[in-house]
Structure formats: C-alpha cells, structure tokens
Structure 1
Amino acid sequence: MIRILSFLLLLYVSTSCAQQNASNTGEDSNPIHSEKVVVIDISVIQKEVLGKNVQFIDIRTPKEYQEGFIDDAVNISFSDKENFASKFENLNKNEPVYIYCYSGWRSHRAAKLLATLGFEKVYDFKGGYKAWTENTKR
C-alpha cells in the first residue's frame, strides 16, 4: 500500500513540475493556441460585426438558420463534419472570423478546430443566437 501511495505521489509531483516548467517558459501543452481564439459578447457583435465587411458565420444547422439568424451571418453547419473544414477553406485565414451557434457550446469546439486549421483570429460569440434573441427583443 505504501509503495502505491509513494508511486502516486511521485507521479503527481512529476506531472506538477512538468506543467509548472511549461507555464514558466511560456510553452503551451495544448496544441490549440488560446491567443487565436477570443470569446466575445453581444456588444462586440453589435459594434464590430453588424454592417461591417467581416467573415461572420452561423455554425448552426441549416434548419436552425432558416428559423432565424443574426443579420449578415452566413451558414456553415458544424454538424456537417464532412464539409465543415472544406467550406472554411474559402475564407481568408489572415482575417478575423466571427462565429456563433445557439448557446456557445458548438462554437467553442468549432473555434478550436478553426485555430488548428490555421485561422489567425477566431472570435467566438459566447451565448450565441440564444443570447442575441434574448437581448435584442427589448
């Protein structure tokens, strides 16, 4: 029993030290660079996206999109796994891309994927279409 506890303690200390060294040297153990993904709120959409010439993507399903969307958004469905990445190939990876889904869960995962695909800046609208409809009905 003592050997097992000693081994677990050693493993924990080794892992903690490795993580501490990575954070001290600025290395990121996560292959997704968080500086490429920025979570934004509704005020950013209103100020920097609407009416502007930006890459603004609704990643919900086509059915959800047809039921309502934020002005100027183009639909590229995240649920279409086979074509999602290829449809983003038509966009400029050096220009910011703004994405949203219904509540923020899918866009969070999609933002990470887009960063791995080489997009320099991905803005993920936290709260998504749900937050949009709740805040613009007033």
Structure 2
Amino acid sequence: MDLTQEEWTEQLKNDDNAFVLDVRTPEELEEGAIANATNIDIYLGQGFMDEIQKLDTSKNYYVYCRSGNRSGQACAILNSIGIENTFNLDGGFMNWEGEVVNL
C-alpha cells in the first residue's frame, strides 16, 4: 500500500510492531537514512531474497527507496513471501521531510 509522507510518518509513529526497511544502495545511504531503518539493497538480487526471508512475517514493514519505485517492488516481493503488511513511502527518500540519520 502506498502512503503519502504524512500518512507514513503518522502511522509509523503509532505502530508498536513496525520495521523500517531501506532498500537503497550503499551509495544512496551516504545521503542519510530514516531513523531506525534497516538497509537491505534490492539490487542484491538473490542476496536480497535471502535476507528478506529471515524477516519476521508478523511485523508491519515500512519500506522506502530514493523515489518510491524500488520500494514498491520490494513491497510486492515481501507480499509474495507471506509478509502481508507492507507500506511504501510514496515519493521516497528524496521527498522525505522528517528526521535524517546516518546508518
């Protein structure tokens, strides 16, 4: 499900079962990240699949990339392996107005 920046931020703030997933590349990470994010680069291919299969399927996943395209794909992949609650940050990190940290 695509959420606007405001919806994503508000829902994340009130979610005790949230997991923030950053699917950007290491180079993109140098721009900073959203607080408490875990990075798994979607471009790793099989490595990405290996890592996401270790994730807790009961969590609610808040997923983002630079623009919202790759994170949308990542949400579909997460759904395909049984993770039902995925929320894509519409517009991605390049439009993020919240807190930025270094991972």
TM range (shorter): 0.7 to 0.9
Pair 1:44-2:7 in alignment: yes
| Aligned residue runs from structure 1 range 112-127, under 5 A | 112-127=76-91
Contact 1:98 1:123 in 2 (8 A): yes
When normalised by structure 1's length, the TM-score is: 0.64
1:44 Cα deviation (Å)?
2.6
Unaligned runs of 5+ in 1: 1-37
Instruction: Decide whether aligned partners of structure 1 residues 48 and 109 sit closer, same or farther in structure 2, where only a CA change above 3 A counts.
Output: same
Unaligned runs of 5+ in 2: none
1:63 Cα deviation (Å)?
1.6
Q: Aligned partners of 1:50 and 1:87: how far apart in 2? A: 25
- State the SS of the aligned residue for 1:114: helix
The runs of 4+ residues in structure 1 deviating greater than 3 Å are: 50-53
The aligned residue for residue 90 of structure 1 is 54
Contact 2:22 2:39 in 1 (8 A): yes
Percent identity for Structure 1 against Structure 2: 28
User: What is the aligned-residue RMSD (CA, Å)?
Assistant: 2.0
1:94 Cα deviation (Å)?
2.1
- State the SS of the aligned residue for 2:7: helix
1:76 Cα deviation (Å)?
0.5
Contact 1:102 1:130 in 2 (8 A): yes
Structure having the higher strand fraction is 2
- State the SS of the aligned residue for 1:130: helix
Report how many residues are paired: 98
Pair 1:63-2:61 in alignment: no
When normalised by structure 2's length, the TM-score is: 0.83
Deviates more, 1:46-55 or 1:98-107: 46-55
Q: Aligned partners of 1:52 and 1:115: how far apart in 2? A: 19
The aligned residue for residue 65 of structure 2 is 101
